[in-house]
A and B are shown apart, each in its own frame.
Chain A
Amino acid sequence: MNHFPEAWGRPRDDIYGPYNPSYLQTTGPKAYTQSPAVTGTSVVAVKFNGGVAIAADNLASYGSLSRFTDVKRLRKFGDTAVIGFSGDVSDMQYIDRLLDSIDIRENYSAHGNTLNAKNLHTYLSKVLYKRRSEFNPLWNHILVAGFDDNKKPFLSSADLLGTTFSAPHLATGFGAHLAIPILRRLFPEERPVEEISKDEAVTALRECIKVLWYRDARSLDKYSLAVITAQGIDIQEDQQVEAQSWAFAETIKGYGAQVN
């Protein structure tokens, strides 16, 4: 029996030969996340008269593997805001834990203020910017939906570099290519947000998720949808893409170049 606990469980050198510690990197720079591992794909969101709607599918991919098929990527903050995460899922869980601790602290505080979506977005963008400045990024692109100080619908984005921007409709990842053109056609810039109804916004997001399901290989037909209004947050996490049309698939043979 060896009396040094540090030696317990270690392979004995006389049997196994000296342990090769080369994979335990002790020299060189400290390694931080240089690429994401388990990732979530697009988040789409749109403002409407009196609120914001936001949607994301329930998939967490590990490269091209559909690894976790029941991951909720829309997170509630109190009853004022919803944050949609794309990118690294472990970093999402870290940020979620961070937000939970803030929520608890705020609820116990005596000042009685509640953090709105705008405050939250400012905070998160600073967290992301700080981490990128330390060369240790939180590998996420997030959308924050809720209300600003004037109780007007608020929708803004922040990414792993700390870049922020806002628009009446936003999408991350693949959605920036596939969903934005759909949303822009449905809700052109000339049309004020006040004219867009809640139902219209929700229907549009469902359509976007469907298109993403058709064309984004790292997507899923199960998704979450949240609607934030002055009445509160309505979040549904077990939605299914309805009325799928795979009829076109019947006609596809081979790899395109093949005719019959």
Chain B
Amino acid sequence: MTTFMGQPHSEAIGYSFTQTASVPIKEHSFYPYTDNGGSTLGITGSDFAILAGDTRSVAGYNINSRYVPKVFKIGGDDETGDGAHILLSVVGFAADGQALKERLDAVVKMYKYQHGKSMSVGACAQRLSTILYQKRFFPYYVHAILAGLDEDGKGALYSYDPVGSYEREQCRAAGSAASLIMPFLDNQVNFKNQYIPGSGEGHALEPKRAEPLPRDTVERLVRDAFTSAVERHIEVGDGLQMMVITSAGIEEIYYPLKKD
């Protein structure tokens, strides 16, 4: 006796319609991520913000290309990004970074069409967090940094983890050389471990207060941070792409780095 379409029938001969044996769950061997290396860095000032990233793209020990930008203009009027007022840098898995950038760009553009005004950096920052968190269980494997000018015209910088936790900061380094650059920034931008000479005895020294730095100082810090990172990290090099956002617009600066 066998069954046909779930119903028993009286054919004398049996045929195997039903499948009973279960198979152990197979493991996926395809890994959907890769690390394309590189580093990014953002610093704000009183009336500007700088986002920078090296332009090398790697896969393991291979260099894919010496010029793959990691810093993008968001919400521009056309392909070139003219008219944009927000910057985004992404480092980690480049394909996710590209997808994330395109999604945020579309959101900022749609906001303008629907509301008739540009999206504020604060709003864009919250939206980016939401986009990242929406993919909480299959994350965009990137460390994003968002930069722009806030409502008071001050430099604004937001940094993210791959699942959307974010925070506004004065400066942030991300990517493969973040651990090399960040302590340098702590010391040179936030003046950590710097004290006013002769302000007290022993450990009672008064810490040096952090103040917004002028633009030329910040640009020099960025260049120094990257030239140093190139020396000590194999995934960083080739070129430095810097984007400076001020009330006058966005300025792009390219500075060659060592290609070894």
**Which residues on A are within 8 Å of B, measured CB to CB?**
2, 4, 6-7, 10-14, 18-22, 24-29, 31-35, 125, 129, 132-133, 135, 137, 157, 161-167, 170, 176-177, 189
What CA separation (Å) do A243 and B53 show in the bound complex?
A: 46
**Can you report 19 A-B residue pairs in the complex whose CB atoms are below 8 A from each other?**
A4-B11, A7-B17, A10-B15, A11-B16, A13-B13, A14-B14, A21-B19, A21-B21, A25-B23, A26-B23, A29-B28, A31-B26, A125-B95, A162-B99, A164-B95, A165-B65, A166-B68, A167-B67, A189-B259
Q: Assess whether B67 is in contact with A161, with CB atoms less than 8 Å apart.
A: no
Q: Assess whether B95 is in contact with A162, with CB atoms less than 8 Å apart.
A: yes
- B15 partner residues in chain A, CB cutoff 8 A: 2, 4, 7, 10, 12-13, 19
Interface of chain B, main secondary structure: loop
Known: A129-B95, A132-B32. A28 touches B14 (CB 8 A): no
What CA separation (Å) do A5 and B4 show in the bound complex?
A: 11
Q: Assess whether B16 is in contact with A2, with CB atoms less than 8 Å apart.
A: no
**A/B pair count, beta carbons within 8 Å:** 108
Q: Assess whether A176 is in contact with B62, with CB atoms less than 8 Å apart.
A: yes
Pick the 4 closest A-B CB pairs, nearest first. Answer: A19-B16, A13-B14, A162-B95, A21-B19
Q: Give the Cβ gap from A129 to chain B, nearest Cβ, in Å.
A: 5
Interface size class of B (residues with CB under 8 A): 35 or more
What CA separation (Å) do A21 and B2 show in the bound complex?
A: 15
Q: Is B197 an interface residue (CB 8 A)?
A: no
Q: Give the Cβ gap from A131 to chain B, nearest Cβ, in Å.
A: 10
Q: Assess whether A165 is in contact with B28, with CB atoms less than 8 Å apart.
A: no
Q: Give the Cβ gap from B13 to chain A, nearest Cβ, in Å.
A: 5
- B98 partner residues in chain A, CB cutoff 8 A: 129, 162, 164
Q: Give the Cβ gap from B18 to chain A, nearest Cβ, in Å.
A: 8
What CA separation (Å) do A10 and B33 show in the bound complex?
A: 44
- A29 partner residues in chain B, CB cutoff 8 A: 25-26, 28
- B95 partner residues in chain A, CB cutoff 8 A: 125, 129, 132, 161-164
Q: Give the Cβ gap from B55 to chain A, nearest Cβ, in Å.
A: 10
Nearest CB to that of B20 among chain A residues? A21
What CA separation (Å) do A162 and B98 show in the bound complex?
A: 9
